[in-house]
Structures are given as structure tokens and as C-alpha cells.
């Protein structure tokens, strides 16, 4: 079954209207593979700006949201607010949310359920830390994280699973294409056993972890790598090369 290649750009807490405006101009003018779904994760304060300036062929994602529609939750944003800005995606469970801000698997699961119920697509992130990989428990960690997400998903067509080895984010280290393929293949097998074969075959599992213009082509050639979630390189012109990794 062919899965549409998916490339997410996570701008994180970077940029201002000037620099993001320049980036958006570069993207709008770039020649990008029409067979790739591209979604840019903008800081919440710039969601409206990004959606109004980016060409409609690109999607926009919030980088986080809360688990309820509204209320006394200072500093949070809801899926309803995200949708009100014309934005259709949200990134949930990113390792920085887990390890810098202390979000639990349970909370990420609750956010996933509410975002999907609200009609957003979810880029759900999972991944192990360096000590966990070195301790030989990569599968145990990513399967446990995936289970909590899976328990909260009714419609898998709205979910993209992003495998991000924490030790390869912002470090310049990249999992080798073989390491990435191995985990993606095992995740697909887990979905087959624990969800369904149809979901295992159709859900896109993308790789995140210091993806660059230099590493993207070989990673994209792996059988179970269906795209990327790109950090720093998504703020640079090379992001176009990454989008076109399969071309």
C-alpha cells in the first residue's frame, strides 16, 4: 500500500515575523514535489500569520495544545482555537514537551484524544533517550509511548506517528538509516499486532532527529520511513531539498 510521503517542519520557539516571512517566501517560491504532504509547525503566536502567508499547498500545525476546549488554563491553547486560525494539525508528545516540560504519557494521550475529536490531525511523537537506547530498552520505551497514543485514537487516518530518538535531536547525531528503518519496522509490526493490519499498512511513520539536506535521501529510501519531522533545518532553504528527498 502506498503511503503519501509526509514532511513536517517544527520551527520550535524560533523566528519573528521578518525571518519567518522570509522563510515562507522561500517555501512559496520553491519547487516542491506535489506528491508530498508538507506541514509547518509554527509558534502559537504566529499560527495566524503562517496560515495567512503560506501557500495553501502547505499545511500548518500548532506545536502543542491542551486537552479541553476552553477554560481557566493560562497560557494554553485549545484545538478549537487552532482550528479558528484555519490550522488543521497539531504536534503532540514532542520529546521537549515530555522531558523539558514534564508531560506524562497519560496527558499526551488525553491531548491526542481531544485533538482528534476536535477534527485536528495529530503528529504524535515518540522516542527513547540515549541511556534507554544504550540500556537496550528502545522497543520497550517506544511501544509503551505508542500504546498510550493508540488507546486514544479512533480514526488513524488523522494520525502521523513521528519516531524521534531523543539522543539525535539537536545534537547533530542522526540515527543511521538502518537504525531508523529497524525501529519503524518494529513499530509497524506492533501496530499490526495491537491495532490492525490495515492501520499498520496505512499509517505514516516519519523520522525526526537532526534530518538535513545531506541525510534525507538515504533515510527516505528506507521501506518503512514515510517522511520526516524536521527541526533546525526546517528554518533554512535546505528544507526544500528535504521535502523533495523522494524525487
Active site residue 99: no
- Classify strands 159-163 and 5-10 as parallel, antiparallel or unpaired: unpaired
DSSP calls for 193-244: HHT-HHHHHHSEEEE-SS--TTTHHHHHTSTT--EEEESGGGGSTTHHHHHT
Q: Which of 114, 128, 164, 184 is catalytic?
A: 164
Distance CA 116, CA 113 (A): 5
Q: Which of 69, 76, 48 minimizes the C-alpha distance to 60?
A: 48
Active site residue 184: no
Phi, psi of 225 (to 5 degrees): -95, 110
Q: Which of 37, 94, 103, 184 is catalytic?
A: 94
Distance CA 65, CA 107 (A): 11
**Distance between start and end Cα atoms, the chain:** 19
Distance CA 163, CA 169 (A): 11
Where b means 16+ CB within 10 Å and e means fewer, 106-134 reads ebbbbbbbbbbebebbbbbbbbbbeebbe
Instruction: Give the catalytic positions in this structure.
Output: 94, 164
Amino acid at each position: 500500500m502506498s503511503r503519501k510521503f509526509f514532511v513536517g517542519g517544527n520551527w520550535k520557539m524560533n523566528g519573528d515575523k521578518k525571518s519567518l516571512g522570509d522563510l515562507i517566501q522561500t517555501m512559496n517560491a520553491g519547487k516542491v514535489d506535489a506528491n508530498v504532504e508538507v506541514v509547518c509547525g509554527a509558534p502559537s503566536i504566529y499560527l495566524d500569520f503562517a496560515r495567512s502567508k503560506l501557500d495553501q499547498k502547505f499545511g500548518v500545525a500548532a506545536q502543542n495544545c491542551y486537552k479541553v476546549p476552553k477554560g481557566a488554563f493560562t497560557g494554553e491553547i485549545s484545538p478549537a482555537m487552532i482550528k479558528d486560525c484555519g490550522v488543521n494539525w497539531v504536534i503532540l508528545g514532542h520529546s521537549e514537551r515530555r522531558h523539558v516540560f514534564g508531560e506524562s504519557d497519560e496527558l499526551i494521550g488525553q491531548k491526542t484524544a481531544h485533538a482528534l475529536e476536535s477534527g485536528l490531525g495529530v503528529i504524535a511523537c515518540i522516542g527513547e533517550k540515549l541511556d534507554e537506547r544504550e540500556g537496550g530498552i528502545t522497543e520497550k520505551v517506544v511501544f509503551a509511548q505508542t500504546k498510550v497514543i493508540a488507546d486514544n485514537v479512533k480514526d488513524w487516518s488523522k494520525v502521523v506517528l513521528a519516531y524521534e530518538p531523543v539522543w539525535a535531536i539537536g545534537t547533530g547525531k542522526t540515527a543511521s538509516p538502518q537504525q531508523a528503518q529497524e525501529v519503524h519496522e518494529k513499530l509497524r509490526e506492533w501496530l499490526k499486532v495491537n491495532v490492525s493490519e490495515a492501520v499498520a499498512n496505512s499509517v505514516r511513520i516519519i523520522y525526526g532527529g537532526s534530518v538535513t539536506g545531506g541525510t534525507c535521501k538515504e533515510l527516505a529510501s528506507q521501506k518503512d520511513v514515510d517522511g520526516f519531522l524536521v527541526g533546525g533545518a526546517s528554518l533554512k532553504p535546505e528544507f526544500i531539498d528535504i521535502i523533495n528527498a523522494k524525487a
